[in-house]
C-alpha cells in the first residue's frame, strides 16, 4: 500500500524597506538618525539609538493619525495587522485607483504601483469600507490624500505605506503580517511586513 504525502512548503517574502539614514522620508517628516550609543570593542556591547518619525520606512497608520480622538497604535487589536492578502496590480493605470480595480479583494488589499504616482481615490477607499476589508497597503509613501486617509482611518482600516516587493505576490494567495510597535499614544509605527505563501 502506498501512502501519498502532500508536502506543503511555505515561502516568506519580506515586504519591508531597510531603515537607515538613507531611507527616504515623506516631505516635512524628520530625517532618520541612527547613532552609535555603545561600541562592542570599547564598551563590551554594541547598541544604537534611533531618532525617527512614527511614519518612517514601511509603516502602518493608526486612526489617531488623522482622526481627533481616534484609536492610537497601542490600542489597535493585532487582528488588524494580520490576514489573507491580495495584491492588485495597478501599475498600468494613468489615474488613481477606483472601485473598478477591485474585482477581487481579500481581508487585506495591497496595491502594486511599481513606484508610479498612483494613489487610492476617496471613492476607492469608500468601496473598500463597504467590502469590509481589515487593512490596505501600497508601495508608495502615501495611500492617498487627506480625504482618502480620513475615510479609511475613521473606519479603523489600518493603512500600510512604503511596502516593497509586492510584484512577487501578484496572482498569489498569501497571509500578510505587518505588526507595529506598541507605542503609547502612537499615531503609527514602523512595521516588519511580510507575506507567507503556501506553495502546493
Ligand atoms: Zn503614514
DSSP calls for 55-118: T-SSEEE-GGGTSTTPPPGGGS-GGGGEEEEEEEE-TT-SS-B-GGG-SS--SEEEEE-TT-S-
Give yes or no: residues 30 and 80 share one domain: no
Query: Exposed, middle or buried, 152 (CB in 10 Å: 0-12/13-18/19+)?
Result: buried
Q: How far is the CA of 84 from the centre of ligand 1 (A)?
A: 22
For residue 59, the CA-to-ligand 1 centroid distance in Å is 6
**Cα gap 57→31, rounded to integer Å:** 11
Cα–ligand 1 centroid distance for 89 (angstroms): 21
Of the pLDDT bands very low, low, confident and very high (cuts 50, 70, 90), residue 149 is very high
- What residues make up the domain containing 124? 10-17+57-199
The CA 178 to ligand 1 mean position distance, Å, reads 14
Q: Are residues 38 and 72 in the same domain?
A: no
Is the whole model's pTM more than 0.85, yes or no?
Answer: yes
Pairing relationship of beta strands 135-138 and 108-112 according to DSSP bridges? parallel
Are both 139 and 95 inside the same structural domain? yes
pLDDT band at 2 (very low <50, low <70, confident <90, very high): low
Q: Does residue 118 share a domain with residue 45?
A: no
Residues 64 and 45 occupy one common structural domain: no
Strand, coil or helix: what is 175?
strand
- The values of phi and psi at residue 153, to 5°, are -75, -30
Distance CA 124, CA 30 (A): 30
Q: Tell me the per-residue pLDDT of 154-190, one tens digit each, with 9 for 90 and over.
A: 999 999 999 999 999 999 999 999 999 999 999 999 9
How many whole angstroms separate alpha carbon 166 and alpha carbon 48? 30
Q: Do residues 132 and 155 make contact, with C-beta atoms less than 8 angstroms apart?
A: no
Query: Which domain CATH number covers 158?
Result: 3.50.30.50
Q: Which residue has the cell 488588524?
A: 80
In this structure, the answer to whether residues 42 and 72 fall within a common structural domain is no
**Max CA separation in the chain (angstroms):** 68
Say if residue 122 is in the same domain as residue 87: yes
Band of pLDDT at residue 6, cut at 50, 70 and 90: low
Q: Is 96 inside a domain boundary?
A: yes
Confidence tier at 9 by pLDDT (50, 70, 90):
confident
CA atoms within 13 A of residue 117's CA, in its CB half-sphere: 1
- Mean pLDDT, residues 26-33 taken together: 96
Any domain includes 67: yes
* In-domain check, residue 3: no
How many angstroms separate the alpha carbon of residue 7 from the centre of ligand 1? 39
- Into how many domains does the chain fold? 2
Mean pLDDT value of segment 67-95? 97
Tell how far the Cα of 77 is from the centroid of ligand 1, in angstroms: 18
**157 CA to middle of ligand 1, Å?**
13
Q: List b or e across 63-98, with b for residues whose CB sees 16 or more CB atoms inside 10 angstroms.
A: bbbbbeebebbeebeeebbbbebbbbbbbeeeebbe
User: Is there a single domain that holds both residue 77 and residue 133?
Assistant: yes
In this structure, the answer to whether residues 39 and 128 fall within a common structural domain is: no
- 123/50 Cα distance (integer angstroms): 38
Q: Is residue 134 part of a domain?
A: yes
Domain shared by 139 and 85, yes or no: yes
Is residue 119 one of the residues assigned to a domain? Answer: yes
Residue 156 within a domain: yes
Asked whether residue 1 is domain-assigned, the answer is no
Gap from CA of 158 to ligand 1 centroid (Å):
10
Same domain, 25 and 39: yes
- Whether 43 is in a domain gets the answer yes
Whether 46 and 75 map to the same domain: the answer is no
Per-residue pLDDT reduced to its tens digit, 119-144: 999 999 999 999 999 999 999 999 99
Distance 171 CA to ligand 1 centre (A): 26
Amino acid at each position: 500500500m502506498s501512502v501519498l504525502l502532500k508536502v506543503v512548503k511555505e515561502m516568506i517574502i519580506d515586504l519591508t524597506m531597510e531603515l537607515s539614514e538613507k531611507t527616504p522620508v515623506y516631505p516635512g517628516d524628520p530625517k532618520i538618525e541612527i547613532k552609535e550609543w555603545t561600541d562592542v570593542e570599547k564598551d563590551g556591547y554594541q547598541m544604537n539609538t534611533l531618532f525617527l518619525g512614527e511614519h518612517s520606512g514601511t509603516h502602518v497608520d493608526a486612526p489617531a493619525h488623522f482622526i481627533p480622538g481616534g484609536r492610537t497604535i497601542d490600542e489597535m487589536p493585532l487582528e488588524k495587522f494580520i490576514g489573507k492578502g491580495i495584491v492588485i496590480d495597478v501599475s498600468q493605470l494613468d489615474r488613481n485607483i477606483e472601485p473598478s480595480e477591485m474585482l477581487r479583494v481579500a481581508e487585506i488589499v495591497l496595491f502594486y504601483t511599481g513606484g508610479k504616482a498612483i494613489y487610492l481615490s476617496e471613492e476607492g477607499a469608500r468601496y473598500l469600507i463597504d467590502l469590509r476589508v481589515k487593512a490596505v497597503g501600497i508601495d508608495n509613501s502615501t495611500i492617498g490624500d487627506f480625504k482618502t486617509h480620513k475615510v479609511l482611518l475613521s473606519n479603523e482600516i489600518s493603512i500600510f505605506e512604503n511596502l516593497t516587493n509586492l510584484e512577487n505576490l501578484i496572482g498569489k494567495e498569501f497571509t500578510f503580517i505587518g505588526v507595529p510597535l506598541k507605542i503609547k499614544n502612537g499615531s503609527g509605527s514602523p512595521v516588519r511586513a511580510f507575506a507567507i505563501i503556501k506553495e502546493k
